[in-house]
Structure 1
Amino acid sequence: MPSLHRCRIPHPFLFPLIALVAFLAAGCATVPHGSATHIPDHEASTFVPRDLPASTAQLVVVADDGGARATVYALQRSPDGWHTRLGPLEASIGKKGFARIGEKREGDGKTPSGLFPLEFVFGYAASAPTRMPYRQATENDLWVDDPSSPDYNTWVRRGETSASSFELMKLPDHRYRHGVVIGYNRDPVVKGRGSAIFIHEWLEMGRPTAGCVALNEAGIVSLISWLDPGEHPMILMGDAAVAAAPGREEGMR
């Protein structure tokens, strides 16, 4: 991913993040986590990036709640505008919160900020309740997180890579029972900028991730059931610090 370029005006996707942070701050300042404010339909378009592709009619928004907590909303475009379809959904993110745009690094414990495509759904079962492309994860499936490997940030089969470090796609627990691949640092892949960024099921409520976005089982199943590849779904992630920073990430997607 290209380096961060400073300019006087934030990237267009930051404006909806600023609006979302302000909205949540106004509506949730005294509301406990897990009881976040619903985004009414007449407010939904406020949180849509100016440069969202015209083909994208589904947008997942991950808003910072402080620390390793976040709230997820799913927005749908229709002929009469944008509407909230899911959320608020309680979520966990990286143990060190959100990285600023362009500052995500391998192993830093942070969730990347930005606007990214949602590529495909994966899980342990042979099939899943989703219209998205689906890939079953088995004991022989790995995701390479070794920055020195030519297979960095890709899904491979055991025996197909010489990488010294990788993540099992079928874990001994339920975290990857349902998941969605976030297209972060995937096209092109930049060594060391972070890998294996997913939306997946959390291990337990409130437990931070290494950089992914984690939901409870009901939340992730609702999300994968709603996603439609024909709507070219994308995800917008970021926190208040990113929204306030006068930075710009060229070629962010």
Structure 2
Amino acid sequence: MMPLLRSVTTAVLLVITAPVFAVALEGSTQLVVVTTERWDATEGRLQAFERTAQGWQPHGAAFDVAVGRSGSAWGKGLHPAQPGIPQKREGDGRSPAGIFAIGPAFGYAPRLTSGLPYQPMRDTSYCMDVPDSPYYNRIVDADVVGAEAVAGSTEPMRLDLHNKGDRRYREGFVIEHNPKATPGGGSCIFAHLWRTPGEATAGCTAMEPARMTTLLTWLNASAQPRFVLLPRAEYQRLQADWQLPVLAGSVQ
């Protein structure tokens, strides 16, 4: 009976385990991939992909982006939880690594050309980075939730009005890290404009304005777009299991 039991157990494990790797990208036909050279790198390369009948195909050219000032760390997203360090924490200056849903676009203008839902920011818009707040990891309007509810937030979404014309949040989109808003797990992760070329972020992914405009025009909520950020060695280790695209220059 032991060989039969072993076979049945193996089959059950395969049934349970196999979808875990595929579910993060299931149904998605648009992918934004950022790879860095190592965990503490503050720069990376972004390549967009579209899923076709032939699999994932590059969309447009790859380009440089900036990531967290302390590099990256395992985040909370659609991927299986990863053991070990580094793990993303509030205020650590690291960009979350893994696979994440792409949320709404946001910006300063009343309207924006994108297939993503768009949320125009007001001078009263804040993203809550206070771990014990009931609004933690959410963008809220102080006129709606009350001024006391946004007390302590360091993330006003109209940076131009709060920080001498700062353009970083003029256009961007939400990277849905820590979707369950686990206190202290990290909050307010976006793709946004860089203030100066290559300037590291507090944990977001930043790029030049023309690149962002092109991305926002291409991204479409109906494609269930996903955002992937990984150090290159981790990407290569997980590429087959997570069914990620093959990167240019990779040896298969």
TM-score class normalised by the smaller sequence: 0.7 to 0.9
Aligned counterpart for 1:224 among listed residues 216, 235, 251:
216
Question: Do residues 121 (structure 1) and 105 (structure 2) align?
Answer: yes
Q: May I ask how many residue pairs the two structures share in their alignment?
A: 200
Partner AA of 1:180 in structure 2: F
Distance 1:242 1:101 in 2: 13
Paired letter, 2:204: C
Q: Is 1:53 the equivalent of 2:37? A: no
Distance 1:100 1:241 in 2: 14
Matches within 5 A, 1:143-162: 143-159=127-143, 160=145, 161-162=149-150
* TM-score normalised to structure 1 length: 0.73
Higher relative contact order (CA 8 A, sep 6+): 1
- Counterpart check, 1:182 vs 2:175: yes
Could you say which residue in structure 2 is the equivalent of 1:41?
none
CA–CA distance in structure 1, aligned partners of residues 193 and 118 of structure 2: 16
Aligned partners of 1:58, 1:195: CA distance in 2, in Å? Answer: 24
Q: Runs in 1 of length 4+ with deviation above 6 angstroms? A: none
Identical columns (%): 33
**Alignment partner, residue 167 of structure 1:** 155
Tell me the equivalent position of 1:195: 187
Q: Unmatched 5+ residue regions in structure 1?
A: 1-10, 13-48, 247-253
Structure 2 counterpart of 1:73 = 47
1:191-248 Cα distance to aligned partner (Å, 9 max, x none) = 00100100001001011000000010011111101101110000111114655899xx
Name the residue aligned to 1:207: 199
**Hey, what does 1:83 align to over in structure 2?**
57
TM (norm. structure 2) is: 0.74
Q: Deviations over 1:38-75 (max 9, x none)?
A: xxxxxxxxxxx744433100011010045210100110
Q: Which amino acid aligns with 1:93?
A: V
Query: Please, which of 63, 70, 74 is the counterpart of residue 96 of structure 1?
Result: 70
Larger radius of gyration: 2
- Partners in 1 of 2:234 and 2:94 — Cα distance? 13
Q: Deviations over 1:130-182 (max 9, x none)?
A: 01100001101000000011111001112521542241101021100100001
In the alignment, the residues of structure 2 paired with residue 230 and residue 245 of structure 1 have an alpha-carbon distance, to the nearest angstrom, of 29
